[in-house]
Amino acid sequence: MLSDIELILFDLDGTLVEFHHDFLFEQAHLILAKLGHEPVTNAVLEGHFSDFSFFDFIPEHRRELFITQFWTNFDWKNFPRAKVLAGVDNLLEQIAESGRKSGIVTSRAVAHEQLSADLEHTGLLSYMSYVRTRSCDHLHWSDKRDSIRSIIEESGLRPSQIAMIGDIPPDISSARVMGLGLTIGVLSGGLKRSVLEQARPDHIIDNVSQISELFFLK
């Protein structure tokens, strides 16, 4: 039940802040050149990105190496300045006023201190009771089960009292595996609706600001 939700977890990039496609593509071009792969256009990269098959432009026999090189060399330190998406601040204020808590579960492989510095100008962390980044040695960049598990343990809440909002299928699948009470997919990250539908979230919305009017704060 929506009324049972006490904690709302958010993905970061593409959900709370703008996702910088151009930077992602720039990193891909750099690794392609490093591996001696022929150039790929941004249009091709965008097509794969929206289908959530970003690395499929690499031949299968070379894909694992490319993915390893991509995340090993990804330049998190120069990741573009975060820009909060429209309506996020108002939503977070309303969540706090409702007595619920908020948290961030991000795939960024950075230390908590760096994430705090990167987001200081946004004010987002002042609303967050829990923040989890990805361990650099994590097996898969998109798997958030460990982060969600640690928040469940720290919060003392039942999984059914926690919601997860994200813009990619693994945000939804990680939450479902951990038994969270509500999953919401958002289209603000650039994926096709049909891709998110395959993850079977409870709801799909255009952006997180719609949570206020549609679900929690009627």
Which domain covers residue 40, as residue numbers? 21-78
Same domain, 164 and 197: yes
Number of domains present in the structure of the chain: 2
Q: Which of 174, 195, 214 is nearest to 9 (CA)?
A: 174
Same domain, 110 and 195: yes
Same domain, 58 and 88: no
Boundary-marking domain end, from 37, 63, 78 = 78
CA distances from 59 to 42, 56, 67, 68, 113 (A): 17, 7, 12, 14, 37
pTM assigned to the model: 0.91
Boundary-marking domain end, from 55, 78, 101 = 78
The winner for highest mean pLDDT among 8-12, 29-33, 97-101 is 8-12
Same domain, 52 and 110: no
Same domain, 106 and 182: yes
Strand partners, 162: 7
pLDDT attached to residue 136: 62
Q: Is pLDDT of 3 > 60?
A: yes
Q: Is 87 exposed, middle or buried (0-12, 13-18, 19+ CB in 10 A)?
A: middle
pLDDT tens column, 96-140: 998 999 999 998 888 889 899 999 999 999 999 999 998 766 557
Same domain, 41 and 55: yes
To the nearest 10°, report the CA torsion of 208, 21, 141, 96: -20
CA angle 111, 201, 148 (to 5 degrees): 30
With the C-alpha atoms ordered 168, 171, 24, 15, is the resulting torsion angle positive or negative?
positive
Same domain, 157 and 173: yes
CA distances from 3 to 50, 98, 109, 115 (A): 33, 11, 33, 31
Same domain, 44 and 89: no
Same domain, 140 and 191: yes
Same domain, 184 and 96: yes
For the domain that residue 174 is a member of, what is the CATH number?
Answer: 3.40.50.1000
Q: Is pLDDT of 199 > 90?
A: yes
Same domain, 64 and 86: no
Buried b (16+ CB within 10 A) or exposed e, 144-159: bebbbeebbeebebee
- Percentage of the chain exceeding pLDDT 70: 94
